[in-house]
Structure 1
């Protein structure tokens, strides 16, 4: 009969480590867990008594780690993952990373401790090196809405630069030359890529980027209101604005209207994501559509079906023309 000592020797670990794996301790690296479990299966080791490990535990689940719960964006992401999980007869375990590297790490360890080896993660805080390390240990880990070149086959992402490029080009084609950009203070990959698209569009049109047109503000709706206030304090030196996301656009639009700025007659606005119902906007918001639900579905499929699939990894944003961007009255 195979003993715990036999398993430890074959796996090249201590008996204490095997015991921790059996009892689902969170203090074991995912690659070590996978190695020990594989040895246990190969050797036919049987867990007895009240020990809690079941080799198949977690195989009917799909893990999902999102950055926040309080946003329609993450609702669509979750919906996409859940649709695929249901087709594969999996239940979704959800945790929040809260835009914090330690929280994201804890969430991964929590999933692994529950036996979950298929995980879709929306990570904006962990470093590329940390994600690479986890991806190498967990082939079923798929990063959604972020591109890490070293693990590209385990990523599904949006060409964010293309999105703000399209938004800015649209405003330039309408005749705008003084175009503000509302960005976030948080250091996330989207921030760099989206500013790059805005900058490229201006430079190609021969327009110099003016630092007075750029507002970096805290994440969320209060940030959008602050950016609008700052631009008003500068005398509103622009005729148009591209916002980092629709939440910024909605909050800024409200502040501008409260101070008598007519939208879009005096100021055209383009958002990003297209996740908020248009009843929140008057006029209806011209924006860039991020296909986050489709991206999430592909991420879930790659996690469950394997990364050898020919499923699309990179997605492209669309410009959705509505009523908030028009030809400028004056420039």
Structure 2
């Protein structure tokens, strides 16, 4: 798409206005209910859908298809990122009424970082088409790594603070408790960070690692910087509400890593084929409609199999618990306190 400066400016202003509305709504610390999270999740998805339809009306069907493919991919990858957000919140013992503020500012930091990565990626791609080979190989490697971790039963409980975060903590110091929504306080004449500021930086800077997967992935679906940026923006802006909506369901998505590995591997192959095509090799290229079908199908199948597997696991655990309570493993003799036949005879 040939996007003029005025369109870019209007888009950024529009997204900034949406972020401002989101901040205004969540300015007062409170516990976010499932109802509130559900309503705003629907609102953000509806806004993304309207934007995609607008691209089809005022742009082209190709641009609209690329946006939806990119948005769905980024959204699915962001769900995996929520696992890490949950760990960060738990590690720093963030009060429930402050979590929405943490996510709002953290996502804003992530959006700025993504914009920088997208600009850099677009500049590299426009000058060096061979970078598609690197992106493709990296995504295929990431897909293989995800499968290996999933088969080994690994999780992300070993999250550690990155070097940037440690440097900030060393430079400013950290207060020993939360002070409402304050990010800095004065202590002994020195300005130090509150734990709230540390958590915001943790979530924002951790997105640098997430971008290593998501940015090459979406460039595998479209090379249009405008579509890449807007798809990322809409996917990220609804992340705060999605955190509260499906927070309790995250542990049930046991096959999500397999699904994401298939998606990343598929896009990696698509990138390699595109690179070969750009090099003059006569190979078929994967269309956007086919990409949308694969991505959507994999996510649906993964979600269904995850819920089925989680339900069976819960049933097994319930049966084992029932069996354990009946065979005396709970500290009783399994006779509900009644005399056994042997005791009655002896009596």
Name the TM-score, length of structure 1 as normaliser: 0.26
Structure scoring higher RCO (CA < 8 A, sep ≥ 6) equals 2
Say which structure is richer in strand.
1
Name the TM-score, length of structure 2 as normaliser: 0.25
